[in-house]
Amino acid sequence: MLTQKDSSFNFYALLWHALLLSLSQSFIDFDVVLPAMIIDAGGTSMHVGILTAIMLGGASITQLFFAPYISNKPFKKRFLLLGINSRIFSLGFIAFLLYYISQNKEAELLWLIFIVISLYAVGGAFASLSYNDIIGKSLNEHSRKSFFSVKQIIIGIGVFISAYFAKKILTFYQYPFSYMTLFIIGFVLLATSSMAFWLIREKVESNLKIDNLKHFFSIMKIEIAENKKLRNYLGFVNTQGIAVSFLPFVILYSKQFLTGNTDVGNFLLFKVIGAVSAGILISLLIKKIKYRFLLYLGVIVSLSIVFILIMFHNSYAFYTVFVLGGIIASIYSITMNGVLLEVSSKDNRALYTGISGAGYILPAIFPILGGFIIKEFNFTTFFLLYAIIVLSSLFFIRKIDCKK
């Protein structure tokens, strides 16, 4: 049984993790730092597409296969720590690879970097199954919305601080030393943040039992058929979800118009400014607005980015795009976590998190398709396809009946 004392203790332990994790995020940012590193290492639009697919879509699909095993476990903290530790190892190994490249100029290790990044992404997908379940069981229901809003403010402050220092590192050091330094710092901070989960008091058991993978897919089919909210949630994630995979291509697009050495650092900083500003504002207004309003707002901002990129090509336009990209990321993070908790219960939360991996099929395919379209056609065609898919998400938002 979860007592109020346990809930309060877990509340602060989870915020501790959020703070330290946020301090690491800008050093390993998958919208800016990772794509920029791949481009500097000689990557093309296809490489950026594959990287984005791995980080934002492909890894989440693996949740479909992890969920049956995790769902059967009454307590999930050790599985959460396993996923987090795999990410910590990945960051340290990438830092080592970059050091090796710095000592062996002819080394071509791009393929190995992709493998390690895949481990990092899959580890995150594995950990998130347990994380969502632990959040649901470790906090009283009335504390969850407050947790997400306070968490967003803390993350905003932490990410802004780390973005400032990451920008300095990217400005003063060249590839690969700049990225090696970023990953070493990210490694240390992520390792420190994981210690918070050793303190979490996981008192409530999950009772869902799944016999095997076949049974899981049969349950998934039933849940999708019977739960209208879940169907529309998956439809929304499959469409608006591509918006959070867009910024890596903007970095590639900017190379046609900007040549400054500080652009990557500036992009990171402006993205964080957008995310922090939106996170704080939403947190202040969270009790007065519903998730549906935020879902609509996310679509509007996502479409405005396309207009700016097609019409303007100076540095101010790109900085504006990254501010808006940060706003989208903040809205998406708050709404997706909140809506998923709303459509699930304590017994099926890990199951639903796994099912939500089905919502990342299009976000997994789109970056690879985008890389191909850019290579064979042009950026304008890619931008228009993106706008059409995002616009289609309005159909699902209209049907998502969020009570909160």
Q: What is the pLDDT along the chain (404 residues), one digit of tens a residue?
A: 667 776 777 778 888 888 888 888 888 888 888 888 888 877 788 888 888 888 776 666 777 677 777 766 767 778 888 888 898 999 999 888 888 877 776 556 778 888 888 888 888 877 877 776 777 777 776 676 677 777 777 877 888 889 889 888 988 888 888 889 999 999 999 888 888 877 777 666 666 666 666 777 787 788 778 778 788 888 888 888 888 888 889 988 988 887 665 578 889 889 989 988 887 788 777 677 777 888 889 999 999 999 999 999 888 999 999 999 999 988 888 887 777 777 776 666 666 766 776 567 788 888 889 989 998 989 999 999 999 999 998 888 887 766 55
> Which tokens go with 280?
């704080």
Q: Using CA atoms, how far apart are residues 382 and 60, in angstroms rounded to an integer?
A: 23
> Which tokens go with 297?
């707002």
pLDDT of 215-245, one tens digit each? 777 877 887 787 787 888 888 888 888 888 8
- For 167, phi then psi, to 5°, come to -60, -45
Please choose, from the candidates 318, 302, 303, the residue with its C-alpha nearest in 3D space to the C-alpha of residue 32.
318
Please choose, from the candidates 353, 401, 377, the residue with its C-alpha nearest in 3D space to the C-alpha of residue 68.
353
> Which tokens go with 277?
């500003």
CA-based end-to-end distance of the chain: 25
- Looking at the chain, how many residues does it have? 404
Domain extents in the chain: 7-214+244-399
Q: Using CA atoms, how far apart are residues 222 and 208, in angstroms rounded to an integer?
A: 15
CA dist 40 → 28, 133, 210 (Å) = 15, 39, 45
pLDDT of 82-126, one tens digit each? 888 898 999 999 888 888 877 776 556 778 888 888 888 888 877
- For 123, phi then psi, to 5°, come to -60, -40
Widest pairwise Cα distance in the chain: 59
* Single-letter code of the amino acid located at 41: A
Question: What is the helix (H) or strand (E) element at residue 251, kind and residue range?
Answer: helix 247-254
In CATH, the architecture of 7-214+244-399 is Up-down Bundle (1.20)
Q: Using CA atoms, how far apart are residues 193 and 21, in angstroms rounded to an integer?
A: 6
pLDDT of 59-89, one tens digit each? 667 776 777 777 667 677 788 888 888 989 9
